[in-house]
Amino acid sequence: VPVKNVTADISYLQPGTRLSEKKIIVTGGGKGLGAAMAAKFVSEGASVLISGRNEKILKETADNIGCKYLVLDMQDTSAFDRFISDADALLDGVDCLVNNAGISLHEPTFFDVTPATFDAQIATNLRGGFFLTQSFTKMLVQKIRKGNVLFVSSETGETVDIRPYGFTKAAVNSMVQGLACLFVKDGIRVNAVAPGITASDMTGFKSDGNLFLASNATERVYLPEEVAETACFLLSDVSSCISGQVIVCNNGKTINPRWK
C-alpha cells in the first residue's frame, strides 16, 4: 500500500509584542517543542531562558534564537531553588515557567515496563514538574509577583493508558486544575497544552519530512511551531481569564463521540 506524502498547510500569527516584558523559563528548551516555543516567545518580545541537561545543545539553541540558558536536570530536585534564583537574576525578574521537559521511553507493551523505566518517567514528567513549580510559585508569592505556569501535557493524558508516560500526563492534567484553583488569588495562572503526536526527537518524526500519520485526525503529525502558537496565547495577557485549562492540540482526536 503506497504511503501518502503529507505536508502541512498552517498559519502563524505575525510576530509582534504579545509577550513584551514577559520573563520566561522553558525547561527542555534545547530542541524540539521547547526550542520552538522559546523562539516564538523571543519573537513576541519576551526575555527567555531555556534549560536542559546538555549544555552544548542549550548553547547552540540559545545563540540561534537569542536567549539565555542554564543547565538543569529535572530529576535533581535539590537544585531547583537555586535554579529559580539564578534564572530570576539572569532574567531580571522571571514571571513565567513553561514545564516542557519530559521523556517517553516507549515501552512496547505493559509487560515491558520495568521499575527503572517507570521511575525515570515519573521523576522527570511528574515529580520534576511538581517540585520545580513549587520552587517557582514559592518565589512569586514571596515577592508578591503575578505569574504564569504552563505545563506541556499530552493527548495521552486525556485517555486511559497502560504505560507510565500516559499516567504522568493524566496526573499533570489534574495538577494543572488543582494549582489553578490554589493560586488564583495570588494572580498566578496555571494551564497546559496537550499536543497530539508532534514532530520531535521523541516521536521520531522530522518537521521537514513526510508528515503522514494515519492515526492522527488530520492524517499528519503536528509541527512544534503550531503548538508554540497556542502556548504563546496562554502566556499572553489576552488570555488573562483562562486558568486551569488543558488545551488539547489534536483536532479532536481524543474526543469520544457516539458515532465513533
Q: Which residue has the higher pLDDT, 201 or 241?
A: 241
- Which residue(s) pair with 23 in the sheet? 47
Could you tell me the CATH superfamily of domain 23-249? NAD(P)-binding Rossmann-like Domain (3.40.50.720)
105-138: per-residue pLDDT in tens? 999 999 999 999 999 999 999 999 999 999 999 9
- Report DSSP state, residue 184: G
pLDDT interval class at 10 (50, 70, 90): low
Q: 135 with 81: CB under 8 angstroms?
A: yes
Please name the amino acid found at residue 177: Q
Q: The C-alpha cell of 245 is what?
A: 485549562
Q: 94 with 116: CB under 8 angstroms?
A: no
Average pLDDT estimate for 197-204: 76
Average pLDDT estimate for 199-203: 74
Residue whose C-alpha is closest to residue 53's, from 150, 126, 138, 128: 128
Find where cell 474526543 sits: 255
pLDDT at 249 over 80: yes
Residues of the chain by 3-state class (helix, strand, coil), percent to 5: 45, 15, 40
167-187: per-residue pLDDT in tens? 999 999 999 999 999 999 999
Q: What is the pTM of this model?
A: 0.92
Least confident of 12-16, 67-71, 102-106: 12-16
pLDDT interval class at 218 (50, 70, 90): confident
pLDDT at 95 over 90: yes
Q: How many helices (H) and strands (E) does the chain have?
A: 7, 7
pLDDT at 1 over 50: no
Q: What is the pLDDT of residue 20?
A: 94
pLDDT at 205 over 90: no
Q: What is the pLDDT of residue 197?
A: 85
pLDDT at 99 over 50: yes
Residue whose C-alpha is closest to residue 224's, from 152, 160, 158: 152
The C-alpha atoms of residue 187 and residue 168 are separated, in whole angstroms, by 26
The C-alpha atoms of residue 163 and residue 63 are separated, in whole angstroms, by 37
The pLDDT mean for the chain works out to 93
> CA–CA distance from 251 to each of 10, 53, 62, 155, 198 (Å)?
13, 32, 31, 11, 13
Displacement of CA 81 from its chain's centroid (Å): 20
The rounded percent of the chain whose pLDDT value lies above 70 is: 94
